[in-house]
Structures are given as C-alpha cells and as structure tokens.
Amino acid sequence: MTDVVVLDYGSGNLRSAQRALERAGATVTVTADPDAAREADGLVVPGVGAFAACMAGFVSVDGPRIVDSRLAGGRAVLGICVGMQILFEFGEEHGVTTQGMGEWPGAVTRLEAAVLPHMGWNTVSPPTGSEMFRGVEEEYFYFVHSYAVQSWDLPIDPAGRLAAPRVTWTTYGSDFVSAVENGPLWATQFHPEKSGEAGLSLLRSWLGTIA
C-alpha cells in the first residue's frame, strides 16, 4: 500500500483527512516528524483557519523545506484548503499581508460574494486532460472558505520545456482557483475528505500518480 503522511502542524482537520485517505487505499501516518514527511510516498498538507496562522505553523515544523525537497525529487504533495493557499506567494487577510511558499505566483484574497463563507457543495470546471477530476468532472465538492486565489498569473514557458499547470476554476460570486495540478504538486481549495465518493475518487487518482 502507498505510505502517506498527513503533516501535523497544528492546523486541525487531520483525522478526517487520515480516514478518507485510508478509505482510498493508503497507509496513513499523522505526524510532524520531518524525516517521515520527506520519506513518505505521498505528503498531504491540510489547512483550516487563517492564512497567517497556518503559515506560521507550517514554518514551525520546517514545512517549506520539506515540500521543496520533495518537489525537487518529483515526490507527490497534496495541499488541501489553506494547505493549498499557502503554496501561493502571499495571503491578504484583515489588512495583513503574509508571505506564502511562492510555489505559484498570486495572492489569496477575500472572495467577492454576498454571503461568506462559501460553505457547502459546488461544481468545478477542470481543464481538458485533468487527471485529478477524471470521471468526476460533473460532480460536486465541499467548500468552506472566505478567501481564495482569484487570478492566475503564472507566465507560460516560452521554450515549451515545462508543462503548464492544469488549473480548475469554480464560481461563487466571482471566479476563483479551486484546484491545481502541477507535476508532483496537486492542491484543492475544497475538501476532498468531506466530498463523499467524488472526493474519494480524487484521492484515489492522486494515489495513482505515486510510483
């Protein structure tokens, strides 16, 4: 079975992610141990709450270095909710700007919607060729958030040497990035672990990318 670590950096929502991954077929350990996180077949970075608090907790367990080392070796990482948001350049909440990991350029900002948080089930619009949403392109996924990335600014590689990330969008008041597939780095703004059979299908697809 595939060995997955759910990184414990004080963000909460760890056990539901563990249970869903186990149902999807993985052997799961919840830990802050950096060696285990680096060496596992797959690493899941969850996240709930404020961007700044999650980023501080993530840094406290050496999360940025762990993720960077895994990606340098082409090893799978999955970010969920705020665990996705902290992969971007920075977050803006309540007038405070916090640096993120900078794996992708862009800002996490407050959604432009009449009712917040965006809580409940919504559809996604994945790009052609998405591995993440294969077979569940028309399904609903579960969201709980008030902030998101609302523009995608990653420049296209002019030499065509690097595959462009596959970006999925969702609309709630305005359009926002709801998932990204970028080689070994996948991320979702929604919670696959709370998204029923569609979420389990997505987690199985992620596990299927791990050699």
Q: What is the mean pLDDT of residues 86-111?
A: 96
CATH 3.40.50.880 fits 2-208, yes or no: yes
pTM: 0.95
Per-residue pLDDT at 161 exceeds 50: no
Per-residue pLDDT at 177 exceeds 70: yes
User: In this predicted model, what pLDDT tens digit does every residue of 41-81 receive, in sequence order?
Assistant: 999 999 999 999 999 999 999 999 999 999 999 999 999 99
* CA angle 74–203–44, rounded 5-degree value: 55
Catalytic residues: 81, 191, 193
Instruction: Tell me the CA distances in angstroms from 7 to 30, 39, 193, one per residue in order.
Output: 6, 12, 15
Per-residue pLDDT at 158 exceeds 80: no
Q: Where are the domains of the chain?
A: 2-208
Please tell me the predicted confidence (pLDDT) of residue 156.
Answer: 57
- The mean predicted confidence, pLDDT, of the chain is 94
